[in-house]
Amino acid sequence: MPHEAISVFEIFKIGVGPSSSHTLGPWRAAQRFIESLYKQERLFQIQTIRVLLYGSLAKSGKGHGTDIAVQLGLIGADPVTIPVDSIDARIADILAMKKLILHGLHEIDFNPQEDIEFLVTESLPFHPNALTFLASFNDGSLIAETFYSVGGGFVVKEGEETIGQNAIQLPFPIDKADDLLHWCRTTGMSISEVVMENENCWRTEEETRVGLLNIWQVMKDCTYRGCHTKGMLPGGLNVTRRAADLNKKLLGDLTYNNYDEWLEAIRSGGNDFKYTLDWVSCFALAVNEENASFGRVVTAPTNGAAGVIPAVLHYYVCFCNGNIDEKILQFLLTAAETGSIFKKGATLSAAMGGCQAEIGVSSAMAAAGLTEALGGSQRQALMAAEIAMEHHLGLTCDPIGGLVQIPCIERNTMGAIKAITASQLALQSTPDFAKVSLDTVIKTMWDTAKDMSFKYKETSEGGLAVHIPISLPEC
């Protein structure tokens, strides 16, 4: 049976908020579409482009910036490198000039208000997050290509049978948690060591280490920035950012000049339960307020859930003496493999599985990573992931106004705390006595996803989204 191979860098991706499936995925789809035409030497023959957004992308795409993302993708901007503070100006420019410079090279007429259509009553059968690019050429020909944003920033083009870097044969193929445990048992290696051996098929170990530490650096920058930025979030819901005020309240008169001094200041406050709890919330709020503001974040495994892993990692660094590169690498490798198993056995897409697929999975990933970093066994790490997901089963997705703000931002604080609790429970338990395995909870999550009403799958047609009008001030 073929095994899908997913690298740690497909689970952790540097990008721009607010949504991996509604922003990052469509952005990547637009990039792929235009790059492919460039490679076919057809870019300069393009006369017009239209973009059709279907299903969940149409219903909550405005709040998630899907239209912004496709324009940026079409002009050739990259979500990893674009200066995020330039986005507003570039989009305003396109609207004012009614021009798009495709791939940064070829100018066409383009009116985003007419040429990007939100088809809210139409869906395509393969996946709720679908978008089609239509291009006409100066010889009169037309092409249409459809892409699906299947969660976590992963994109599949219609007709493609496989996704990701899965043409590769890994030494330790893993589809399920049981496979992972099997390799750990037969080799005596930890989860992170097994994962690193697989990663060695794509690049050198040193390159993986550097790449992962860069992922951690982006998480640190994002957390620090979020803890020091006040104001109102965009989108019309008038949500006030809270992380900066909480940061100030917790640190009082302590002064610092940079990230490292900030960490020292946090550590100097001790580890009283309420103090620790407040910090975990503060870290998570900070990242997701950045995400909601089109800031740079690490998709982990999605943007809406981007705060859980940085919050738990900062908990580990600040309150468990974990500021050690080796331990951070263990955490990230173990967390990534856990996310990959969820992707293979269920979904990372809220449009398919509700919020259990986002916050639930990120919490399970963080729980497994933290458990390995704290010295737990492989079985304890997988047990922690199971516990974290077990208590997110059935969690719905109903963002108010289609914005990744309410309930999303606070929900990251909950996901982080559940991850820490799940890890502690697993570390204090004997996995032999566990009644539910990680594979069983993944199957249960997928069954629950299939049973869940479409209203709770990132459509903003149910739950909080229909009870709180967007015109109200912050609730």
The residues of the shown chain that bind ligand SF4, judged by CB under 6 A, are 304-305, 350, 355, 358-359, 397, 399, 404, 407-408, 411, 458
- Of the two residues 18 and 369, which places its CB atom closer to ligand SF4 in the complex? 18
- Of the two residues 15 and 431, which places its CB atom closer to ligand SF4 in the complex? 15
Q: For 100, which DSSP code?
A: E
Least spacing, CB of residue 194 vs ligand SF4, in Å: 29
- The type of residue at 173 is P
Strand partners, 232: 240
- Of the two residues 63 and 431, which places its CB atom closer to ligand SF4 in the complex? 63
- Of the two residues 132 and 291, which places its CB atom closer to ligand SF4 in the complex? 291
Least spacing, CB of residue 338 vs ligand SF4, in Å: 18
Least spacing, CB of residue 305 vs ligand SF4, in Å: 6
Least spacing, CB of residue 106 vs ligand SF4, in Å: 35
Q: Among all residues, whose Cβ is closest to ligand SF4?
A: 304
- The type of residue at 215 is I
CB neighbours (10 Å) of residue 109?
A: 12
- In angstroms, what CA-CA distances link 166 with 154, 160, 169, 170, 174? 13, 12, 8, 9, 12
- Of the two residues 337 and 458, which places its CB atom closer to ligand SF4 in the complex? 458
Least spacing, CB of residue 383 vs ligand SF4, in Å: 24
- Of the two residues 211 and 402, which places its CB atom closer to ligand SF4 in the complex? 402
Contact 355, 404 (CB under 8 A): no
Q: For 106, which DSSP code?
A: E
Least spacing, CB of residue 163 vs ligand SF4, in Å: 20
Rounded CA-CA distance 441/365 in Å is 14
Least spacing, CB of residue 317 vs ligand SF4, in Å: 24
| 294 closest CA partner among 303, 281, 307, 285 | 303
Least spacing, CB of residue 340 vs ligand SF4, in Å: 19
- The type of residue at 23 is T
Rounded CA-CA distance 200/474 in Å is 48
Least spacing, CB of residue 208 vs ligand SF4, in Å: 28
- In angstroms, what CA-CA distances link 226 with 242, 288, 322? 9, 8, 22
- Of the two residues 72 and 414, which places its CB atom closer to ligand SF4 in the complex? 414
Contact 278, 416 (CB under 8 A): no
- Of the two residues 116 and 305, which places its CB atom closer to ligand SF4 in the complex? 305
- Of the two residues 34 and 388, which places its CB atom closer to ligand SF4 in the complex? 388
Rounded CA-CA distance 302/167 in Å is 24
Reduce the DSSP state of residue 305 to 3 states and report it. coil
List the structure tokens of 344.
């293979």
Rounded CA-CA distance 87/70 in Å is 12
Rounded CA-CA distance 462/453 in Å is 9
CA torsion angle for 217, 221, 226, 231 (degrees, to 10)? -150
Least spacing, CB of residue 13 vs ligand SF4, in Å: 16
Least spacing, CB of residue 404 vs ligand SF4, in Å: 5
Instruction: Classify residue 347 as left (phi > 0), alpha (psi -120 to 50) or beta.
Output: beta
- Of the two residues 103 and 241, which places its CB atom closer to ligand SF4 in the complex? 241
Identify each DSSP E strand in 152-235 by its residue range. Answer: 154-157
Tell me how far apart the 2 most distant CA atoms of the chain are, in Å: 71
Rounded CA-CA distance 464/468 in Å is 6
- Of the two residues 324 and 475, which places its CB atom closer to ligand SF4 in the complex? 475
Reduce the DSSP state of residue 150 to 3 states and report it. strand
